[in-house]
Amino acid sequence: MKNDMMLCVAPNGARLGKADHPALPITPDELADCAEECAKAGAAMIHLHVRDSNERHVLDAGRYKDAIRAIRNRMGDNIVIQVTTEAVGQYQAEQQRDMVQSLKPEAVSLSLRELLPEGADEQTFAKFWQWMSNERIWPQIILYDENDIQRFLTLRNTGIFGQSHLSILIVLGRYGQQLAKPQDLLDPYHLIKDQPDLDWSVCAFGQHENACISMAAALGGHGRIGFENNRLLADGSTAPNNGELVAQAALSARLTGREPMRATTLRSLRIKRPNGE
């Protein structure tokens, strides 16, 4: 259990559509299909985005509830559901917090620079963080570069996150701008490798996604994989679906001596309630 690797699938993101890949899941039923195939391939968690009627990114508790219900009806508790608070230039921190407080999800990803930008009220953020802890919501903090990581470590030392175990996601590359390479992980890794009570995951933009996940596996981290960041297999061919990307990452984990974590294990380690509804 200690050496298990948590694999999370990010199947759709905020920007892509069916024109980018016909198997991109958007509707609740499509997301349920994707969750099922990816759990079979080795994913313990799904990183969930929902869309409005025009397939545009939206932070809408009602639409999240529809998607969560479809996944739970299909799979029960056999996958952890993490919702996103990603702003995509549309939402402010208050709106992001309001959505989480309305939905009360099982797990949530939060960009540090969006939820607590430089100069923002730290007490408001600290109260929100404590509320999530009280509600047994598992947050994962997204860090986009080394400056984000350094700021996170500084804030952690102030006690703003309390004394709880923390989870971070290190982002390698940028959407439509910079392809990630495995060596990009080394400097961030050296900043966090000796941090107590911290687990870390990696997501990587572009065709070297699986190589970056393999590097994370070898260094003791976890991985987020899927069409949100990449649609190519390691051989350069287009993946037919998200499940194939997860299966490839699961193989990489096993080749480094690690077994893909099950949702039940992840939930017992990080989440104290059975589901997000």
Q: How far is the CA of 111 from the CAs of 23, 33, 52, 63, 118, in angstroms?
A: 27, 27, 22, 21, 12
The strand pairing partners of 169, in sequence order, are 142, 201
Instruction: State pLDDT tens for residues 12-46.
Output: 999 999 999 999 999 999 999 999 999 999 999 99
Instruction: State pLDDT tens for residues 49-78.
Output: 999 999 999 999 999 999 999 999 999 999
What's residue 3's pLDDT?
A: 87
Domains of the chain: 7-270 (3.20.20.70)
Confidence at 178, pLDDT banded by 50, 70, 90: confident
Residue 266 has pLDDT above 50, yes or no: yes
Cβ–Cβ under 8 Å, residues 222 and 256: no
Residue 157 has pLDDT above 60, yes or no: yes
Confidence at 276, pLDDT banded by 50, 70, 90: very low
Tell me the average pLDDT of the chain: 94
What's residue 275's pLDDT?
A: 34
Instruction: State pLDDT tens for residues 193-224.
Output: 999 899 999 999 999 999 999 999 999 999 99
- Cα 124 from Cα 131, distance rounded (Å): 11
Residue 90 has pLDDT above 50, yes or no: yes
The single-letter code of the amino acid at 248 is Q
**What's the whole-model pTM score?**
0.94
**What sections of 91-159 are H helices per DSSP?**
93-103, 112-115, 122-134, 146-158
Residue 2 has pLDDT above 70, yes or no: no
